[in-house]
Structure 1
Amino acid sequence: MPRPPDPISRLPPPSRLRALMQALAVLDAILSPEWVYRYYSFDTRWGEGQAMGSMRNGQGDDLFALFDAAGVFIKGLDHERLTHEAAPGALYSSVPPVFEAGVNEPAFSPDRATFCCWRGSGDEGWNWSSQGAPDGDGSDWMLSVLDGDPESYLDFARQYYEVELDLDLVRLIYRHAPITPELAGRLNPDIDFEALQADLEEIGYPASPA
């Protein structure tokens, strides 16, 4: 299989990607207390032995990442680059059977996808499959914030939430520092910390009342 394109090759390995997507979900939960307006989400209790990270932009584009004992499977859709000739079966034909749960998950709308990628727990790199329009499949912009660089989230928040964040605070959350009322309040002075704790529990991220 050819070498994955840069946005995919820059993805961290499964365990680090999981921690990163949890951090992104926490940042979004703080900046956007109403779930429906969030861009990134994470559910550590998705299924038995499974966790799920997602991205939705409210404009028809989405990304889902299923984490389980096999590793991680990612499915992405850039709806403007989905061609009428796209055949889901061809997209998933090279995906190993161990990732069948991600391929067939109804909640991920498997028949609507422009790319997918996967990495087993013991794999040294990422694998991918694409079927987008001639100018790309959307993986370039959809995976850009998943490079592990806190400044990438700053750029995203500046454009999506129209806020300027403190880089040091974002770095703390990328390192999974426990969320305290003081830390959450510095990112969003209007945050309801009690309500946020329910989100943190779902995300599987540490919190501290102090």
Structure 2
Amino acid sequence: MTAHAVAASLPDIATLRDRCRALAVLDSIMSPDWESRYYSFDTGWRPGEEMASMRNGSGDAWSAVFTSAGVFIRAFDHESPMSPAGNHDELWPGLVDTVPEVFSAQVHEPAFSFAGGLAATVCLWRQRDDDRWYAGDIDFPDGDDPDGADWLFEVLVDPTPLAYHRFAEDYYETSVDRSALGAVFALRPLTDDVVRRLNPDLTVEDLADDVAAIGYPS
């Protein structure tokens, strides 16, 4: 799966935002230590902008910036043959050439930079009035996952909680209650029972700041 397959698999903007917020709350429950989390969501990342993100602590990440114009997503697999690190610090041809001007600020965002340019092997975007997601016209190098899109977006493109369930049990090395996970994935208001089935050391009150920052429904 490349960026083109991810573009065909992502839901509409509102559904994607809900999914990103659910993943962020799930990780805030599974990992109270923010530095150890995979998934995050910040409703106040920039004035008028929200950002969902994934980071694995090894240099691989994706960021989805929600703006009034739509959503811009960039992802970076540091081992991909499309990484700027292996291409004289240059982005892979076609990656951002057709990104609409309304997302110029995100393409040049310092927080996403590598050697003065965008740290990306995947770029996707969708404007508010678009009926689908877009990716650049790219001649991909050989390989099953040349841009890293397959593993980077495995959880995000799944419309069910199953991909996150597999991820969480592996990453956090613990069994994860599927029913409680499903309740959060569906953005149902948190209860102490749901939270404790995922992490017996937490309550809803403990998560108040995270829930507010993520914008999870109360």
Secondary structure in structure 2 of the residue aligned to 1:75? strand
Gaps of 5+ in 1: none
For 2:50 and 2:210, the matched residues in 1 are separated by: 14
| 1:167 aligned partner | 178
**Unmatched segments (≥5 aa) in structure 2:** none
CA-based RMSD of the aligned residues comes to 2.0
* Structure 1 residues 42-90: Cα deviation after superposition (integer angstroms, max 9, x where no partner): 0011122210000000111010000011111000000011252262384
Give the share of equivalent positions with the same residue, in percent.
Answer: 43
User: Deviation at 1:31?
Assistant: 0.3
Cross-structure match for 1:142: 152
Q: Which residue number corresponds to residue 93 of structure 1?
A: 97
Structure 2 CA distance, aligned partners of 1:133 and 1:76?
A: 17
Q: How do residues 1-210 of structure 1 correspond to structure 2 at under 5 angstroms?
A: 5-81=4-80, 82-83=83-84, 84-85=86-87, 87-88=90-91, 90=93, 91-109=95-113, 110-129=117-136, 134-135=142-143, 136-147=146-157, 148-207=159-218
SS in 2 for 1:79: coil
Counterpart CA distance in 2 for 1:131 and 1:203 is 37
TM-score normalised over the length of structure 2 = 0.87
Q: If each structure's helix is expressed as a fraction of its own residues, which one has the higher value?
A: 1
User: Alignment length, in residue pairs?
Assistant: 205
- Between stretches 61-70 and 141-150, larger displacement belongs to 141-150
DSSP 3-state at the match of 1:5: helix
Whole-Å separation in 1 of the counterparts to 2:139 and 2:21: 28
